[in-house]
Amino acid sequence: CGVFGVWAPGLDVARMTYFGLHALQHRGQESAGIAVGNGRTVLVRKDVGLVTQVFSDADLAAMPGHVAVGHVRYGTSGGEGWEGAQPHLSTIEDVIIALAHNGTLVNTDYLRHELVELGVPFRSEVDSEVAAKLIGYFTKKTHHLREGIASTMAMIEGAYAMVLVRENALYAFRDPNGIRPLVLGELPEGRGWVVASETCALDIVGARLVREVEPGEVLRISDDGVTSQFEYQAQTLRPCVFEQVYFARPDSLVGGRSVYSVRVKMGERLAAEAPVDADIVIGVPDSGLPPAEGYARAAGLPFGEGLIKNRYVARTFIQPTQELREMGVRLKLNALRDVVEGKRIVLVDDSIVRGTTMAQIVRMLRDAGASEVHVRINSPEVRFPCFYGIDTGTQEQLISASHTVEEVRERIGADSLAFLSVEGLLECVAPMDGYCCACFDGRYPVEVPPSLERHSFL
């Protein structure tokens, strides 16, 4: 998912959020929503579909205010359709809040159970709603939203980057491992503040990157400016390495470094680890292009455009069913015969998860006359499921969880296949360290499943 928040009295915050979500559309295409605080209350509009499908000009004009949050959804835990759309609106006595969440919470089953015992009603199956209801519960108890957020953060486990709006303030907070990204930006001439999943969403509204929100940090942005409070003594930054491999937009900065440059470097490293005799290097658009460029440069081979992408088709991986996913590849990509015919090809892509995409692309290239297809993947084998908000599928669906590299090669029909090593990947994303690489190495930063008794609040 993608989240965005803005505090900017005097500006059209609903429209700015719309633009911010537009820049984050690659992070989720199932639903979109915006909540605006106008000093008195909070208004929400959300629906299934792309940002441009959900909001008309009139919708945005109908949401004046000075503080807003927004969300684009890529579902990983329950609640398909409207139910899963965010922000979640909650009423706490006379205060209305709206919450938007990127990530996945791993211990909401029993927390939901306890809230239900206390008589708190639920509308969806989504983990984020549990967080919204917990914030409400603890805010009522302590009479302070800040306390409500702090107590909730002490209860929930997993990955979260959250933005929350009430009638007169914006809050942004991140889990103690900082697994999902969140950045703070400033608008020019002191006109306000922006928080977003990625820096590309700051760029689109003309905000300057100030810094990343720290693990375990709660930011409150209001008339009093930006204040920061830390909910955890020991914070360990364990950001998701997959953001660098696939999820983030190449024009974003992660850990202060260009994602594009990091991906080029992964390709260079891959060329050193897994060289092959070939005529041309091509990348699978879009996320395979920068590493293909790096591979070609390091190998001294020409870099060519062998696959053309239809710009108007959403990411295939995000289509929920296998049939749609298989259809999706051909809707999205076509081989360029002039470039590939009679050639020995190095084909670079960011990842193999289920293996569906790659098998079809290899077939497509052979049909277009490629004489050899050598597949190079700029990430290691995905052998473990993600529990923190990236839908890499269950263990059974992951082709590399149950197949050797040679077996995967055979399945996808390639002449050779190689993955970037974990060490190679980590070298490319250095000097920042501590990355979560659990989908590659199985070392989860947050216990899964979580310990149950510890946090009971009944």
Clarify whether 437 is annotated catalytic: no
413 binds ligand 5GP (CB under 6 A): no
If binding is defined by CB under 6 A, does position 242 make contact with ligand SF4? yes
Please tell me whether 56 is known to bind a ligand.
no
What is the contact mask toward Mg ion in residues 278 to 317, using x (rule: CB under 5 A)? Answer: ---------x------------------------------
Q: Is 436 annotated as a binding residue?
A: yes
> Would you call 265 helix, strand, or coil by DSSP?
helix
At 241 the three-state DSSP class reads coil
- CB nearer to ligand SF4: pick between 193 and 388: 388
Residue whose pair of structure tokens reads 């293909």 in the numeric block: 292
Closer residue to ligand 5GP in complex, CB, 55/384: 384
Question: What's the number of CA atoms in the CB half-sphere (13 Å) around residue 144?
Answer: 6
Kind plus residue range of the DSSP H or E element containing 68: strand 67-73
262: CB partners within 8 A, 6+ apart:
244, 254, 428, 429
Task: Find out whether 349 is annotated in a ligand binding site.
Answer: yes
Planar angle of CA 263, 268, 273, nearest 5 degrees: 120
Cβ atoms 172, 219 nearer than 8 A = yes
Q: Does 353 bind ligand 5GP (CB under 6 A)?
A: yes
Give residues with Cβ within 8 angstroms of 127, minimum separation 6. Answer: 77, 78, 101, 104, 105, 108, 158
* Rounded-to-integer distance, Cα 243 and Cα 294, Å: 18
Strands 225-230 and 217-222: antiparallel
Q: Residue 148 corresponds to which tokens in the numbers above?
A: 């409500």
Query: Residue 317, interface with ligand 5GP (CB under 6 A)?
Result: yes
Structure token pair of residue 238: 């364990």
Residue 45, H or E segment: strand 42-48
Residue 195 near which of Mg ion, ligand SF4, ligand 5GP, none (CB within 5-8 Å, type-dependent) = none
160 binds ligand SF4 (CB under 6 A): no
Give one DSSP letter per residue of 96-144, joined into a string: EEEEEEES-BSSHHHHHHHHHHTT---S-S-HHHHHHHHHHHHHHHHS-
- Nearest approach in angstroms of CB 218 to ligand SF4 is 21
CB 355, min distance to ligand SF4, A? 17
71 binds, among Mg ion, ligand 5GP, ligand SF4, none (CB under 5 to 8 A by kind): none
CA–CA distance, 238 with 252 (Å, rounded to integer): 18
Q: Which is nearer to ligand 5GP, 147 or 286 (CB)?
A: 286
- Closer residue to ligand 5GP (CB): 299 or 358: 358
The binder of ligand 5GP chosen from 78, 275, 355, 369 (CB under 6 A): 355
Of these, 287, 319, 378, 400, which contacts ligand 5GP (CB under 6 A)? 287
**384-to-288, 391, 440 alpha-carbon distances in Å:** 22, 11, 6
Does 391 participate in binding ligand 5GP (rule CB under 6 A)? yes
Q: Is 203 annotated as a binding residue?
A: no
- Which of ligand 5GP, Mg ion, ligand SF4, none interacts with 152 (beta carbon under 5 to 8 A by kind)? none
Binding range to ligand SF4, per CB under 6 A, among 202-210, 237-245, 419-427, 446-454: 237-245
Per-residue binder mask for ligand 5GP (CB under 6 A), 235-254, x = binder: -----------x--------
Query: Taking CB within 5 to 8 Å according to partner kind, which of Mg ion, ligand SF4, ligand 5GP, none is near residue 240?
Result: ligand SF4
28-38 burial code (b ≥16 CB/10 A, e <16): bbbbbbbbbbb
The answer to whether 187 contacts ligand 5GP (rule: CB under 6 A) is no
| Binding stretches for Mg ion (CB under 5 A) | 287
Q: Which residues bind ligand SF4 (CB under 6 A)?
A: 179, 240-242, 386, 388, 390, 436-439
Which parts are annotated binding residues for [4Fe-4S] cluster?
240, 386, 436, 439
Q: Which residues are catalytic?
A: 1
Residue ranges for the binding site?
A: 240, 287, 349-350, 386, 436, 439
